[in-house]
Amino acid sequence: MPEFCKIERDGHVTTITIQRPEVMNAIHPPASRELSEAFDAFVADPDAWVAILTGAGDKAFSAGNDLKYQAAGNKIDGPPSGFGGITARFDNPKPVIAAVNGLALGGGFEMVLACDIAIASENASFGLPEPRVGLAALAGGMHRLPRQIGTKPAMGMLLTGRRVAAREAQALGIVNEVVAPGELMAAARRWADQICECSPVSVRTTKRVALDGLAHASLHEAMEARYPAIVELVKSEDFIEGPRAFAEKRKPKWTGR
């Protein structure tokens, strides 16, 4: 059993909880490796369609890198999949929802940025304070934040290290929804269930193509490019089941294959 995270399955939804509340769910390399293994299992399981990532307790999603662990001279050797097993994971076609309870700072915020959808508690706050301690947001924050919210708003956060409260984060486009603390996991599950109503193959294809298309300089180039995921969709059982269910006026029975 993992020591630093908890993994739960309910139907097609996997919930991964960071389990280090005594240090505000700060991440050290052993925790990163466990989280990486949890995401490996999620990606490999054909019956796992959506993941929810959250932190134990109500004070922090994750306060980021465990600086005390690092300052003690311990070896910093995280997994190839990046901080928390997710920030350098570019081969996951399945949706991941961040359920942000409390602080999401430094690497914790970078984990949120690496998710596809983010739901925040009203007491959540976000920031990349690395410059304040002589560091930099090396787990993708310096690149993801400008791409997700625009250069000027991103620089306003990156260059000052300031924290952004949940409502401002929603206005900036960092999170999709803000809810009362007691409603966080229910809201994240509501989003997950809406995704599960769709074809898993269509969802995987949509995520892959949307992200891969960003690598092209122009809209025209992105639309003209060829994407292997579309070939997978056209050959899938879901591609046949969807129109058939519509014609027969019934709910589709997705297989995800």
**Catalytic site residues?**
110, 130
Residue with tokens 């706050």, as numbered in its chain: 125
User: What's the CA gap between 110 and 83, in Å, rounded?
Assistant: 8
User: What's the CA gap between 234 and 199, in Å, rounded?
Assistant: 12
Residue type present at position 71: A
User: What's the CA gap between 219 and 225, in Å, rounded?
Assistant: 10
Residue type present at position 241: E
Q: How many CB atoms lie within 10 A of CB 132?
A: 12
User: What's the CA gap between 167 and 238, in Å, rounded?
Assistant: 38
Give, in order, the Cα–Cα distances in Å from 213 to each of 7, 13, 201, 218, 221: 32, 27, 18, 9, 8
